[in-house]
Amino acid sequence: MHTLSQLKSGELTGIKRLTLSENLTAFPLEILSLASSLEILDLSNNQLTHLPAEIAQLTKLKILFASNNQFVTLPEVLGQCPNLEMVGFKSNQINQVPDASLPVKLRWLILTDNRLEVLPDSLGERPRLQKLALAGNCLTELPQTMSQCHNLELVRISANRLTECPEQLFGLPKLAWFAFSGNPFSQADVSIDSVPQLASSSYTLQNVLGQGASGVISKAVWNEQQTQFPDEIAVKVFKGEVTSDGYPEDELQACLKVGNHPSLVQSLAQVKEADYLALIMNLIPAHYANLGLPPCFNSCTRDTFPTDFSLPITHIDKIVSQMDEVFTHLHDNQVCHGDLYAHNTLFDVDANIIFGDFGAATMYHMLTDIQQAQVKEIENRALLHFIDDLLSVCAEEDKESEAFKRLNQRVG
């Protein structure tokens, strides 16, 4: 985090990334003094409503975040920024996206949690677009021009007002991660009672184990001795508002619909109270670790891994076999995970995996048989990317093995 005083004093000259959050109501023109170096500008958590035309002078700017501000219109000047690739205006009040506001080099657009009812046709005229986050708006349809987005790989359209399945997305050759729950066309009309409901007073939360867009997972202890459940549990308390992936209730129902599988986090019980939604799960043993890291700005949609991380081909082969079984189990239950990634997978030293995070999951039993097959095909691309990412960290001495060649041929 930087300060306005640092900027004005010239202390920040030459920096590539600037973060300012000081309840700004106007764009500080002093930022223009960084035009020769600035690549990432984060103006989130301010009170901004407009951007000046002069921002186009930031010719090296690649990434602009302006989440949690007061924008009503996506600024048209963004389209004048010659190298801008990533635009993030989450949680504003945006109800208009002018044709001219979308940069020519756009790869990644985040407009989650706004007030959009329509999108411009120019969205389909951005050939580099890879990642599109539109959950939590009021969209009733998507532009037909999106059928031209041949590089689009990840789409989030959950929690909107889409009345028809967006067929123009199904023909996209690279679409691999797709979340669409919480729309009229994907209304599940089911309430899963496969696990019992408990009161939140039945347990006490302890230390936080992790958190994501949709909630916080904590270790918990029972307040009274239990005979029906294991002693060690974890509880995911869902956030009340819409997330980047959709509604918490949809995540909970999709997770329950999938049911149990040896390589999935096991659901034990649910909590449904006023302003409190939670899922009680088996506590994952401490020796499990994350298989991958989330995508970075450069990789956009593909997972990353720690430096010098590698896996023997025997472990990769075993992990892939387990994920194949998980994939089959998910789609046998007509649930699309929507976020099939190594960073949502835990593994141990013997290459046993536990797969989780159903924030982007969507039940799709209400779709036609053809549409269901297309959804499965989309997620199969994510599975192939998962395999490809693991092969990228295969131990060098195993790259001539038959197993490596077989998996590499499968990826194509």
Whether 249 contacts 272, CB under 8 Å: no
> E-assigned strands of 165-213?
177-179, 203-211
Cα 165–113–327 angle (5° rounding)? Answer: 50
Q: Distance between CA 82 and CA 85 in Å, rounded?
A: 9
Whether 390 contacts 342, CB under 8 Å: yes
What is the sign, positive or negative, of the torsion defined by CA atoms of 152, 258, 354, 311? Answer: negative
399 is in an annotated binding site: no
Q: Distance between CA 358 and CA 350 in Å, rounded?
A: 25
Paired sense of beta strands 154-156 and 131-133, if any: parallel
Chain centre to alpha carbon of residue 367 = 23
SS (H, E, C) 342-373: HHHEEECCCCCEEECCCCCCEECCCCCHHHHH
Q: Distance between CA 93 and CA 151 in Å, rounded?
A: 28
DSSP 251-277: HHHHHHHH---TTBPPEEEEEEETTEE
Whether 279 contacts 267, CB under 8 Å: yes
From the number of C-beta atoms within 10 Å of its C-beta (0-12, 13-18, 19+), residue 247 rates as buried
Nearest-10 crossing angle of helices 402-411, 369-391:
140
DSSP 2-20: B-HHHHHHTTTTT-SEEEB
Binding positions for ATP: 236
Positions at the binding site: 236
